[in-house]
Each structure stands twice: as structure tokens, then as C-alpha cells.
């Protein structure tokens, strides 16, 4: 006897029964006797500012290969339903902290390794392509478009590719053409990152298991808007209502997915602008959905403002000192390492140290997070906690606005082994607690501070290299100012010397007439 499982029914059929009977019965019951689809996983993710002198190298991607790739995806854990639905072939997935342009050597090495791993297990039914969409590479205008085309040249066009992206990524025509399914986050800050990646996987499995294959239509609309994420947060209007319109579109008959990309403003490339895409099998629904989202995006363009109060750094400090709200957080936005800043600009720290209010240890308590200073961290290990230290920090990469600063102070704490910082040292200078790192690190979690002996909730002023506040910092702040500081991700786009983006572009240019927001259908992959 043989046992077949069809939609929960166990049907016992004598081996001698004709296969035709089995096939007819299973067709009637909706069975799928096909083997599990084989799906590869690959991707590289980073935001790269071309306005920063920093360079991103291969080791910065901390690439995972083989089964280690699964650690990125809880929804593909060994006991998960999705893990059981397919034969998964994880190749290489790299994720780097945002930074400067990626070296050509690093890119070619990582792409080459990915292609070699993909080649070993061909052919594939599907590929989950997990990228950010704002990677810049020396000598390449559209790295993600180049990457996916090289994958296609290897694996062919029978494979269905599902692409997951950050909403701050860029969707070139080439990227849109070579992928089949595409989606992006719907929240900023990106609290739905894993949910979005799972959606990309779910969509892929659905199209494979139902034999629906590639969607018939991919509608793409370029929206000539270029805004920083700090002005397009979905926490506030109009971003909140705009992105709330995305999911209902996906419920329309004949639509698989819909997405709005804000784009990335700190790279000077023709692909840097907003994009709307809708995919599905019903041409009218896909068209109407895409044009609806694009029209809504354009109609609210003048309503986008910074998600929090904005001021110069001097004004931000004055507001913090006058405020009775504690902790008061100041975002040092221009050198935000999570947007692509070098993370070692010393301009803000220099201004802070000069203030008379913080000269005495009895002054207002301030935490500054953070500044790289590998020489100081090494010396601090040798001296130990409680000792006095004197050493230069910062401006090793980006010295355009201020030179390295000599810190003279007391070592309050030392922590080794951090994933990003490697070594962290807290140096007390007057009433300032300055976090110095061996390598740059963004400070987003309360634990980042507590592990260094700092209680962020009882600190009067916290200054952190960030834009909009990530959830944990947002939840603890009582007062907040976003400071317009210099760096590789300057929030004042009018100060940026763009030379290669498409023009006209809102808000940089005036529009004499409304731009064409009609659908441009993207070719189905593999078809000319």
C-alpha cells in the first residue's frame, strides 16, 4: 500500500492501481504531487553615500555563506513551515553598515563568490534576492541592476526571482526588468523589515506552488521626488497615510504586490529618485493601482517635513540646556553612520567640547555616541579604568569639516568584543561622557549604553549620530532636536552638489507642469 497526502486527506491506494486514476483523483482534490521547488538565496545590502570620502571594503559586509544565511530569517528556521515547503540553497548574503562607496574589488569579489556558489546547485525554480537597493560601487552606476543581470546570465530565465528591498533603495529599470516579483518595506523606521522579507518569500512560494509563474504585468512609475528618510517617516503625515494605501492595493483582484520607494538622496546617480511599482496578472488593476499610488505621492509632496524639530547644533544645545525634559536627545544627522556617513566627523564633538557649560564635571550630564579612535582605545586598554588618558580621535576618514580632536580625560569604562565597535571606551571630559570606539558603531539600543555603565534614562542630554530616532531611543526620549550638522549625509539637500541625478527633481527644482505619472510597463524577464 502507498499513502498519499492530498489537502489533509490520507488516501490509501493499492500500488497496482493505475497512475491515471491517481492523477485524476488528485486533480479533483487539488493535490500537488510535484517535488518541492528548489530556491536559492543571495544578496548584498548597504546604503552608500557618494558624498562621503569613506570606502566600504569586503570585510565590512560580514558575509554569511551556506546555512549561516538562514540566521537572517526567523521565518526560515528549521521548524518553520516555509523551510519545509522548498529545498533551500543559501549561497552568500552580505550586510554592511551604511557607509561610503563600495570598492570595485570588494564588489567583484562578493559577486564572484555568489555566482560560483549558485553555479554548483543549478538549476533553480526560484531565487530570493535580498538587497537594500542603495549600494554604490566604484565605476558602476547601478550595482543591484548589474548584480541581478549577472545572476540571470548564469541561472537563466526559467527561474523566478523575488526581490526584497528597503524603501530607501532605488529601483532602476534594469533591476525591475530582471526580477519577477519585487517588494519593499512599508514602515520607516523599518519595524516591518522581516515581515517584508517574508512577504517576498511567500509571494515566490505561492507563484511556484500554484504554477502561476511570473506575473504578467510589472507597472513602474518614476516619481521625480528625492527626499531624505528623515522627512518621509511613516510615523507622521503624510508618509503615514501614503504608505497605508499600499496594502489595500494588494487586495485588488489580479494584484500580487505593490510598493513605494522613496529612494536614496546621498548618491549622485540617475537612478536616485522615488519609484512606484505594482505587479500582478490583471492589467487594468495593476495600472490603476500604480497610478493611484504615484498620484497620491505627488499630491502630498509639499507636506513632507522633518519628523522632529530641526535646528542648528548650537540652537539644539541651547534648547536641550533650557529644557526640563530628560533625557533630551540631539540627533547629529549629518554624520549618521546608518545613512552612509563616515561616522568619524569631529565637527559636532569639537563644538560640544568648546561649550563652557560642560567644562566642569558638575555640569549637565552629557553622553556623546560616538567617535572612532583606535589609538585611544588601544591606549585605554593599557592604562585601565580610572586612569587619565590623552589621545587624538576622529577625522581619520572624513576630515573636511574639522580635524582630529585631542581628548584629555578620565577612563570611565572599557568594553571589548562588540560586533561593530570591537572595543568601546567611555572617556569623561568635564561633564561629558564621550564614547570612543575602535571602529564606528551606531548606538540604537538602551543596552548599548547600559553595558558601558551609562544609564541613558537618567542622563540629561544624549547626542547620537543618527537621523530619525529608532524605536528604543524614540521611546526613552523626553525632548528631541534634529541637528543640521555637516557630513556625508547632509540633510540640507540644497547644500549638496548634485551633478548626475535626473532633473527636474523635487524639491531641488521648480516644475512648470505636472510630471508624467502614467504607467510604464516593464518587460517580463527573459522577453525582448
Say yes or no: 206 and 329 in one domain: no
Within 10 angstroms of residue 399's Cβ, the number of other Cβ atoms is 16
Of the residues 282, 304, 326, the one at which a domain ends: 304
Beta pairing, strands 64-65 & 388-393: unpaired
* Per-residue pLDDT at 471: 86
Q: Is there a domain that residue 130 lies in? A: yes
User: Is the CB of residue 225 less than 8 Å from the CB of residue 506?
Assistant: yes
Percent of the chain residues past pLDDT 90, beyond the cut: 92
Q: Residue 25's pLDDT band (boundaries 50, 70, 90)?
A: very low
- Is position 514 within any domain? no
DSSP H/E element including 4: strand 2-6
Query: Are 452 and 415 spatial neighbours (Cβ–Cβ below 8 Å)?
Result: yes
Write down which residue in 269, 304, 339 finishes a domain.
304
Last residue of a domain, one of 304, 335, 351: 304
471 and 392 within one domain:
yes
Read off the pLDDT of residues 464-520 as tens digits, 9 standing for 90 and up: 999 989 889 999 999 999 999 999 999 999 999 999 999 999 999 999 999 999 999
Mean pLDDT of 302-318: 96
> Which stretch of 28-37, 197-206, 355-364 has the lowest confidence by average pLDDT?
28-37
- Residue 223's pLDDT band (boundaries 50, 70, 90)? very high
Give the mean model confidence (pLDDT) for residues 295-324.
97
Task: Assess if residue 516 is contained within a domain.
Answer: no
Assess whether 324 and 446 both reside in one domain: yes
pLDDT tens figures, 275-309: 999 999 999 999 999 999 999 999 999 999 999 99
Q: Is the dihedral of CA 147, 151, 152, 153 positive or negative?
A: positive
Is 519 a member of any domain? no
Q: Are residues 243 and 381 in the same domain?
A: no
CA distances from 306 to 19, 296, 445, 499 (A): 65, 19, 22, 25
Q: How far apart are CA 194 and CA 500, in angstroms?
A: 33
Structure confidence by residue, pLDDT tens digits, 398-436: 999 999 999 999 999 999 999 999 999 999 999 999 999
Mean pLDDT across the chain: 93
The answer on 406 and 280 residing in a single domain is no
Contact call for residues 283 and 209 (beta carbons, < 8 A): no
Q: Does 505 reside within a domain?
A: no
In the predicted structure, residue 344 carries a pLDDT above the cut 70:
yes
The reply to whether 52 and 23 lie within a common domain is: no
pLDDT for residue 34: 59
Contact 272, 263 (CB under 8 A): yes
In the structure, what pLDDT confidence band is assigned to residue 8 with cuts at 50, 70 and 90? Answer: very low
Average pLDDT estimate for 241-259: 98
In a domain, residue 234? The reply is yes
Task: State the total domains in the chain.
Answer: 3
Same domain flag for 320 and 182? no
Domain that holds residue 1: 1-33
Task: Examine the domain organization and report whether 7 and 122 are in the same domain.
Answer: no
CB contact at 8 A, 51 and 489: yes
* Number of helices (H), then strands (E), in the chain: 14, 24
Question: Does a structural domain hold residue 341?
Answer: yes
Q: Are residues 276 and 325 part of one domain?
A: no
Q: Is 510 inside any structural domain?
A: no
Assess whether 373 and 469 both reside in one domain: yes
Angle made by CA atoms 297, 298, 303, in degrees to the nearest 5: 80
User: Are 139 and 195 within one domain?
Assistant: yes
Residue 4 has pLDDT above 70, yes or no: no
The answer to whether 48 and 269 have CB atoms below 8 angstroms apart is no
Contacts of 508 (CB under 8 A, 6+ apart): 226, 493, 494, 498
pLDDT band at 9 (very low <50, low <70, confident <90, very high): very low
Looking at the fold, whether 343 and 419 belong to one and the same domain comes out as yes
Longest dimension (CA), the chain: 93
Radius of gyration over every alpha carbon of the chain, rounded to an integer in angstroms: 26
Beta-carbon contacts of 179 under 8 Å, excluding residues fewer than 6 positions away, are 129, 148, 161, 162, 163, 525
Amino acid at each position: 500500500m502507498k499513502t498519499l497526502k492530498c489537502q489533509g486527506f490520507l488516501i490509501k491506494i493499492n500500488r497496482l492501481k493505475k497512475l491515471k486514476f491517481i492523477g485524476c483523483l488528485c486533480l479533483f482534490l487539488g493535490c500537488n504531487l510535484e517535488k518541492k521547488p528548489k530556491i536559492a538565496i543571495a544578496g548584498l545590502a548597504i546604503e552608500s553615500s557618494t558624498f562621503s570620502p569613506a570606502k566600504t571594503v569586503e570585510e565590512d559586509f560580514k558575509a554569511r555563506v551556506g546555512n549561516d544565511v538562514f540566521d537572517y530569517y526567523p521565518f526560515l528556521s528549521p521548524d518553520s513551515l516555509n523551510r519545509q515547503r522548498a529545498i533551500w540553497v543559501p549561497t552568500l548574503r552580505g550586510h554592511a553598515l551604511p557607509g561610503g562607496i563600495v570598492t570595485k574589488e570588494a564588489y567583484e569579489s562578493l559577486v564572484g563568490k555568489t555566482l560560483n556558489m549558485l553555479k554548483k546547485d543549478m538549476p533553480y525554480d526560484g531565487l530570493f534576492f535580498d538587497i537594500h537597493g542603495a549600494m554604490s560601487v566604484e565605476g558602476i552606476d547601478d550595482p543591484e541592476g548589474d548584480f541581478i543581470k549577472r545572476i540571470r546570465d548564469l541561472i537563466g530565465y526559467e527561474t523566478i526571482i523575488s526581490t526584497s528591498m528597503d524603501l530607501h533603495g532605488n529601483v532602476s529599470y534594469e533591476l525591475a526588468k530582471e526580477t519577477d516579483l519585487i517588494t519593499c518595506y512599508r514602515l520607516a523606521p523599518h519595524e516591518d523589515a522581516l515581515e517584508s522579507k517574508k512577504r517576498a518569500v511567500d509571494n515566490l512560494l505561492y507563484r511556484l506552488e500554484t504554477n502561476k509563474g511570473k506575473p504578467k504585468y510589472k507597472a513602474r512609475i518614476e516619481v521625480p521626488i528625492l527626499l531624505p528618510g528623515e522627512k518621509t517617516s511613516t510615523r507622521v503625515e503624510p508618509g503615514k497615510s501614503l504608505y497605508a494605501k499600499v496594502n489595500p492595493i494588494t487586495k485588488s483582484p489580479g494584484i500580487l504586490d505593490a510598493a513605494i520607494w522613496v529612494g536614496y538622496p546621498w548618491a549622485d546617480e540617475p537612478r536616485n529618485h522615488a519609484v512606484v511599482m505594482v505587479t500582478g496578472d490583471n492589467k487594468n488593476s495593476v495600472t490603476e493601482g500604480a497610478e493611484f499610488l504615484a498620484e497620491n505621492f505627488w499630491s502630498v509632496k509639499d507636506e513632507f517635513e522633518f519628523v522632529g524639530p530641526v535646528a542648528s547644533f548650537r540652537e539644539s544645545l541651547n534648547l536641550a540646556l533650557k529644557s526640563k525634559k530628560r533625557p533630551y536627545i540631539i540627533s547629529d544627522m549629518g554624520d549618521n553612520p546608518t545613512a552612509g556617513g563616515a561616522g568619524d566627523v569631529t565637527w559636532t564633538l569639537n563644538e560640544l567640547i568648546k561649550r563652557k557649560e560642560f567644562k566642569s564635571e558638575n555640569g549637565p550630564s552629557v553622553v556623546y555616541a560616538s567617535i572612532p579612535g583606535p589609538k585611544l582605545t588601544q591606549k585605554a586598554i593599557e592604562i585601565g579604568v580610572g586612569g587619565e588618558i590623552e589621545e587624538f580621535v576622529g577625522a581619520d576618514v572624513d576630515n573636511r569639516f574639522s580635524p582630529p580632536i585631542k581628548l584629555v580625560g578620565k577612563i570611565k569604562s572599557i568594553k571589548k568584543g562588540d560586533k561593530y565597535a570591537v572595543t568601546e571606551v567611555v572617556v569623561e571630559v568635564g561633564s561629558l561622557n564621550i564614547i570612543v570606539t575602535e571602529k564606528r558603531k551606531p548606538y540604537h539600543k538602551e543596552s548599548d549604553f547600559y553595558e558601558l555603565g551609562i544609564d541613558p534614562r537618567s542622563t540629561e542630554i544624549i547626542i547620537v549620530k543618527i537621523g530619525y530616532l529608532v524605536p528604543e531611543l524614540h521611546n526613552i526620549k523626553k525632548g528631541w532636536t534634529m541637528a543640521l550638522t555637516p557630513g556625508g549625509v547632509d540633510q540640507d539637500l540644497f547644500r549638496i552638489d548634485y551633478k548626475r541625478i535626473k532633473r527636474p527633481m523635487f524639491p531641488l527644482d521648480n516644475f512648470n507642469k505636472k510630471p508624467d505619472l502614467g504607467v510604464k510597463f516593464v518587460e517580463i524577464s527573459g522577453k525582448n
